[in-house]
Structure 1
Amino acid sequence: MINKIAKPGCAWLMAASLWACAGNSQTTDCVPMPEAKPLTGETVKTEVDALLPRAMFVVDGKLGIYKEREEFMFDFYTLPDFKFLCSTAPRGQGPDDLIGLECRNIEVSGTTFSALEHMTWRLKTMKLAGDSAMQVVHTSKPLDANGAINMFHRLDSLHYLSLGSTSNQKEFCIYDISDGSAHETGEYPEWIDPATLATGMPLLIPYGKFLAVSPDGNRFAAFYWHFDRVRFFDRDCKMLMDITTSHDSNGKQEDDDENKLPSCYFGVKAAGDKIYALHADSDSTRLLEIWDWDGHPKSVFRLDRPVTIMTVDTKTRRVIAKDAEHSNEIYLYELPGDY
């Protein structure tokens, strides 16, 4: 992700945060986060290295790890004992091959999982057959990508939520997979003076975000990369809540280069009836926030190590995570009963 965005540095970001907490008409609340509790993980050594893991998910009692740059793009392990099953999904254009996936959200439904394939812009539904090979069981019509599609989250059987295009017109896009059509909607925030942006910079970049959709598909949350801001919307992209969060550590990662934006949110996962979000601490991505769908932060945990991707096993109440540096390790965090 490109971080060099603003011309005069990050002073505008502090001003934006103060303005939001002052009680403007667009902000519902300025919310102090719960005190971060320490959480220590268990390290599991894996049989197979994942050199560039981009996503993790739990399907049919198994852990899947998506590896974007490798010859076989998925590794699967049993749960809860992490016994290696297979490396599968070869790179290619065959019926059960993959070119690459929009991996920031891999949807799970029963024994199948689905994701949008890059370049073809088709939604592929897959399953693990015989614990040994990935099979594609359904492929949608190609979507109207308008250059590219960023993120892809299921609202219902026909409609998927994505980010708006680089045209700067709208913040979100809803796709209809029955005919491949796209409908852009929703206005961008006004947290940045447009004059501070580099010439030609699409608003998609400074207002980058991770999305999470509620189990019933009737609302979604947006956690912004460069802001301590969380917004909740209904399925038609009408804003329900605009929340500015306040962290005791004030722990946004900043660079010595004053022209770089701070990094706040690094990843979001909807699981069960909660939202799990990774937030930067003072030195790395170590904070795990847990939110409910009414816009309340319920718990914050300070992890014992930096992590880059995660998923949640709701059956065992564990967060499963990896980092980019240790290719043969998985980290397990058992959540307390009252989280």
Structure 2
Amino acid sequence: MKTILITAFAFFVGCVTHNDSQFKKVEHFPLEKRVKLDSFKVKSDLFFVSDMAILDDKLVTLDTKNDVFFQFFDLPKLEYIGSQIHKGDGPTEEVLIFPFIENVGDKAFAYRTIDKIKIVSYDLVNRKLFLLKSYAVPQELEILNYCLLNNSLCGYDMFKKAEKEFVKYDFSTHKIKNFGPSLPSVSFAVSDDKKNMLFTKVMVSKADGTRFAALYDKFPLLRIYDNNGELVSETEYLNRQQAPIGYTNKNMSISDIKSTTINYMRVKATQKYIYGLYSGKTHKDLADLGIDGTSCCYEIHIWDWNGNPVARLMLDKNVTCFAVSQDDSCIVLYSSLNENTLYKMNIPLF
């Protein structure tokens, strides 16, 4: 039996009608650098940090396995300041928080509960979170990965057929509509009911709300859109992985999963750049190395908002999640392999 091997050169065959200049294939970044991370033991319990954000000169971590969701640290030395929002059903508690947070400006961040999106800032004087805005999210909007885009929530439902790549919920009009271009077109057959599962992604919006971006976990692909959902650029990183054709099978096998390459797992953005946390390993690679899949990323890829590659930072630690300062000066990282430890690096000049 012949082994089917489709490399990154043959994945994408054009997506929508746009100029060819909007579609790029990249093998190398202008700057490729190995980075040694500085390690900081913190005086607090970090059980499993699923995401984090830098707010001016403070770091906030979201811990999904702790009794308290948010912990705050002072930069640059990552000294522990305090914690906020315990798990529970009390008036100042939250039963569940989704495992992602995102920056809103320089000093605020957004998080999602079962039925709300909340935007908060940290009051350093009173050592507490201050609620800036709260938006109800309808139950029929079954999306996990999303980003805030001006006065709306933009995301996708991985288990539903999609007319367009995204759905958008407007907080003012309370209307849900299909949004964005069609999904990427690949060189192998994919049924409509499997497309959203095949093209799972992480999303982020530009600080000024004019654009948003998606990075994909099964493909080495970056797509950038304007705030009307029009595709601005599409950039493919040529990593020569095997195509994830197993996800098109009616009954996906264990070997299909093991052979799938993990690409981008987290994304952050500033006004200038998009930062993607990248693995490039298959599930089998990780198992052979004895590495936990929650800390499977070794690189950060940096792109500008036109889809041009800027830098590839190769890390000396396995990383779970990270945060970027809005002035593009530093990155803070966390690995689930090392409890109560945070890592930090200065961003090299591009």
Range class of TM-score, shorter chain: 0.7 to 0.9
Q: 2:112 aligns with which of 101, 109, 116?
A: 116
Is residue 2:304 matched to residue 1:292? yes
* Cα deviation 1:70-95 (Å, max 9, x = unaligned): 21111111111211111221112333
Gaps of 5+ in 2: 247-252, 286-295
Alignment match, 1:161: 154
Cα displacement (A) at 1:98:
1.8
Selected match of 1:94 from 90, 93, 97: 90
- Structure (1 or 2) with the greater helix fraction: 2
Aligned pair in 2 of structure 1 residues 39, 83: CA closer, same or farther (>3 Å)?
A: same
The 1:165–1:307 alpha-carbon spacing in structure 2 relative to 1, beyond 3 Å, is closer
Q: Percent identity?
A: 20
1:194 aligns with 2:190: yes
Instruction: Tell me what 2:249 maps to.
Output: none
Partner of 2:267: 268
Structure 2 contact 120–133 (Cα < 8 Å) conserved = no
Query: 2:11, 2:152 → 1: CA distance?
Result: 35
Q: Distance in 2 between matches of 1:332 and 1:42?
A: 5
Note if contact 2:303-2:311 (Cα within 8 Å) is conserved in structure 1: yes
In the other structure, the counterpart of 2:289 is: none
Q: Tell me: CA distance 1:275–1:110, structure 2 relative to 1, closer, same or farther (3 Å).
A: closer
Deviates more, 1:201-210 or 1:20-29: 20-29
Matched, 1:325 2:317: no
Match of 2:40 among 20, 24, 44: 44
Secondary structure in 1 aligned to 2:275? strand
2:93 aligns to what SS in structure 1?
Answer: coil
C-alpha change, 1:98 and 1:236, in structure 2 (3 Å) is same
Could you give the per-residue CA deviations for residues 222-249 of structure 1, whole angstroms, max 9, x where no partner exists?
11110112112121222122222124xx
Q: Deviations over 1:122-168 (max 9, x none)?
A: 12122333466543524534222425222332221x22322246321
Question: Does residue 1:223 correspond to 2:223, yes or no?
Answer: no
CA distance in 2, matches of 1:160, 1:80: 32
Q: Is the 8 A contact 2:212 2:225 kept in 1?
A: yes
- How many residues were matched structurally? 321
2:140 is matched with which residue? 146
Is the CA contact 1:209–1:224 (under 8 Å) kept in the aligned structure 2?
yes
Residue 209 of structure 1 corresponds to which residue in structure 2?
Answer: 201
Provide closer, same or farther for how the CA distance between residues 23 and 330 of structure 1 changes in structure 2, counting only shifts above 3 A.
same
- Provide the rounded CA distance (Å) in 1 between the counterparts of 2:38 and 2:120: 30
Provide the C-alpha distance between the structure 1 equivalents of 2:148 and 2:179, rounded to a whole number of angstroms: 16
- Moved beyond 4 Å, runs of 4+: 21-27, 130-133, 250-257, 281-284
Name the TM-score, length of structure 1 as normaliser.
0.83
Distance in 1 between residues matched to 2:231 and 2:16, nearest whole Å: 15
CA apart distance, 1:206 = 1.3
Partner of 2:346: 334
Q: How many Å apart are 1:67 and its aligned residue?
A: 0.7
- Structure 1 109/137 Cα, relative in aligned 2: closer, same or farther at 3 Å? same
- Amino acid in structure 2 at the alignment position of 1:49: D
- Which amino acid in 2 is paired with 1:321? L
Greater alpha carbon shift after TM alignment, 18-27 vs 258-267: 18-27
Letter in 2 for 1:222: A
2:242 counterpart of 1:258:
no
Among residues 149, 158, 169, which one is paired with 1:175 in the alignment?
169
Q: Is the 8 A contact 2:55 2:325 kept in 1?
A: no
Q: Which runs of 5+ in 1 are unaligned?
A: 1-7
Partner amino acid, structure 1, of 2:53? F
TM-score by length of 2: 0.81
Structure 1 distance, partners of 2:280, 2:202, is 18
How far off is 1:57 after superposition?
0.6
- Match for residue 231 of structure 2? 239
How far apart, CA to CA, are the structure 2 residues paired with 1:74 and 1:24? 41
Q: Which residue of 2 aligns with 1:5?
A: none
